[in-house]
Amino acid sequence: MLRALSLALLTCLSVGNAYASSCVNPKLEKIRFTPGAVCWDYEGTATHFQGTFAAGQKVRVEMHGITHSYDQTFANSNKIEWEFRSPSISGPDQKLLTPTADSEDGVIEATLPKSGTYTFDFSPCAMWNYYGLVRICTRP
């Protein structure tokens, strides 16, 4: 009986931890360019950014954000750092786009193949729901 109760408790804790993970709680922000603007800026905790774009448009996506890490060398403290995020782009039909330029500095560039709704998100998902900055710029 005790073994069954322990197993049930362990299962509940495991499921609870999975649901507590930031990777299962995406937040969507709509992209709305100001008329005449070529860039859209966002500050906050959203994880996914969605807007309508035209075929052939070139986009440059830049993402940075706060991370938390545990530093045992400095009095076992929680360390807050500002780091690059790895952006990605998915287009109409949920196809993931291959960027024309990809770097380790939180920036990707791509030419959009089709008109429609595009979603921009980032990894690692451990950074989801932490404060960040996003800039999406376009040109014809």
How far apart, in whole angstroms, are the C-alpha atoms of residue 92 and residue 57?
14
Q: What is the pLDDT of residue 22?
A: 62
Question: How would residue 4 be classed by pLDDT, with cut points 50, 70 and 90?
Answer: very low
Q: Is residue 83 part of a domain?
A: yes
Burial of 65 (0-12, 13-18, 19+ CB in 10 A): buried
Range of the domain at 116: 27-139
The predicted structure's pLDDT at residue 12: 39
The label of the residue with tokens 């998100």 reads 121
Q: Domain for residue 111, yes or no?
A: yes
Q: Is residue 5 part of a domain?
A: no
Residue 131 lies inside a defined structural domain of this protein: yes
pLDDT, mean of residues 54-71: 88
Beta bridge partners of residue 42, listed in sequence order: 134
Model pTM?
0.75
How many domains are contained in the chain?
A: 1
Looking only at the bridges linking them, the beta strands covering 132-139 and 39-44 are antiparallel
Indicate if the pLDDT at residue 73 is higher than 80: no
In a domain? residue 42: yes
Is 15 a domain residue? no
**17: three-class secondary structure by DSSP:** helix
Residue 94 lies in a domain: yes
Return the structure tokens found at 3: 């073994």
Whether 22 maps to a domain, the answer reads no
Integer angstrom CA distances of residue 94 from 14, 64, 97: 31, 24, 9
Gap between the Cα atoms of 27 and 41, Å rounded:
16
CATH number of the domain within which 122 lies: 2.60.120.380
Residue 109: name the closest of 61, 63, 64 by CA: 61
φ, ψ for residue 128, nearest 5 deg: -60, 145
Q: Using one digit for the tens of pLDDT, what is the confidence trace for 21-48? A: 468 889 999 999 999 999 999 999 999 9
